[in-house]
């Protein structure tokens, strides 16, 4: 049975832990707001660029030579860009991403990791790691461009016939969903957008009557020049989503840890008071029995 001194030491230790987790919760909350805003601000630009490519793609002539980034070939070897965090204390965020990565055949899969946790998983399971990247709390466009450059090199050199990206999608503060999307080859794109109102439908119908467009120098040249920028923007938005999910998951995890520490402090305090009360009662009984024996 633990003594009162042991319980006091444990209470002091848990109080220190609660202070640390509370501070980490507040830091994660501050970073989460900035990351969420950056991710949400980048979505309209990414959607607009995507829909622009869809529009240009519809004007390409069938007899035009396809871009090397759009050519499909039999998938003999696949590459996966695994985007994870650098640090832990994020609940099940990294575990869910790694579970998604385990679905790929390790014998025929190459891994490119962005984040220390992903590279540790690949090294630990002895999978094939061909590239390892890191990114800041506020991801930079140049960091996304470096990842895309390696992915394009793997695809064009024939080292990988298909490239996918595993990352968490930010839904809300409590929910981050692991996603796996194809990056290369770029197949037929579909427009992205929510449901349209009646006025928007009428506007789109009227604009479709004047859909003839002239491209300079050509639709094919514009399409080929926008494809690398499209991939860079897509990976950059993935990194923004990753940071928003990381700080959200860390804030929730640290809040739960703080609440658990406070609950444990209450339980230990109650137990300490019971032991203290028992000790005082025993002392009073000893004094009373000693007094009665003397009289």
**Annotated catalytic residue, options 90, 102, 180, 245:** 90
Give the helix/strand (H/E) hosting 125.
Answer: none
Nearby residues of 121 by Cβ (< 8 Å), 6 or more positions away: 82, 84, 98, 101
Q: Is 90 a catalytic residue?
A: yes
Q: What ranges do the domains of the chain cover?
A: 42-189+215-250
* pLDDT 10s digits, 191-225: 665 444 344 434 443 344 335 667 777 777 787 78
Say yes or no to pLDDT of 57 above 50. Answer: yes
Per the CB < 8 A criterion, the answer to whether 241 and 168 are in contact is yes
Q: What is the pLDDT of residue 211?
A: 52
pTM above 0.85, yes or no: no
Per the CB < 8 A criterion, the answer to whether 166 and 180 are in contact is yes
Q: What is the pLDDT of residue 81?
A: 92
Would you identify the CATH topology of the domain 42-189+215-250? Pyruvate Kinase; Chain: A, domain 1 (3.40.1380)
159 DSSP 8-state letter: S
* pLDDT 10s digits, 91-143: 888 888 999 989 888 888 899 998 899 899 999 988 999 988 888 778 888 88
* pLDDT 10s digits, 19-36: 998 898 888 888 888 887
């Amino acid at each position: 049975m633990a003594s009162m001194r042991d319980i006091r030491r444990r209470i002091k230790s848990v109080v220190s832990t609660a202070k640390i987790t509370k501070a980490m919760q507040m830091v994660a909350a501050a970073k989460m707001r900035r990351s969420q805003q950056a991710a949400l601000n980048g979505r309209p630009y990414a959607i607009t660029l995507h829909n622009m490519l869809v529009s240009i793609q519809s004007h390409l002539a069938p007899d035009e030579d396809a871009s090397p980034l759009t050519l499909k070939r039999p998938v003999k070897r696949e590459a996966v860009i695994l985007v994870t965090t650098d640090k832990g204390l994020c609940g099940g965020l990294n575990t869910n991403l790694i579970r998604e990565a385990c679905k790929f055949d390790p014998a025929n899969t190459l891994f490119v990791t962005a984040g220390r946790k992903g590279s540790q998983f690949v090294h630990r399971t002895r999978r094939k790691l061909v590239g390892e990247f890191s990114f800041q709390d506020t991801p930079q466009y140049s960091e996304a461009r470096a990842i895309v450059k390696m992915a394009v090199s793997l695809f064009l050199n024939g080292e990988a016939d298909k490239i996918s990206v595993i990352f968490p999608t930010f839904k809300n503060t409590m929910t981050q969903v692991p996603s796996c999307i194809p990056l290369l080859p770029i197949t037929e794109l579909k427009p992205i957008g929510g449901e349209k109102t009646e006025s928007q439908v009428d506007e789109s119908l009227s604009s479709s009557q004047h859909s003839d467009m002239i491209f300079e120098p050509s639709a094919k040249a514009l399409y080929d020049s926008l494809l690398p920028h499209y991939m860079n923007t897509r990976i950059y938005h993935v990194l923004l989503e990753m940071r928003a999910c990381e700080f959200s998951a860390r804030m929730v995890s640290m809040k739960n840890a703080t609440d658990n520490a406070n609950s444990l402090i209450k339980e230990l305090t109650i137990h300490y008071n019971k032991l203290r009360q028992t000790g005082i009662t025993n002392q009073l009984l000893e004094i009373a029995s000693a007094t009665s024996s003397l009289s």
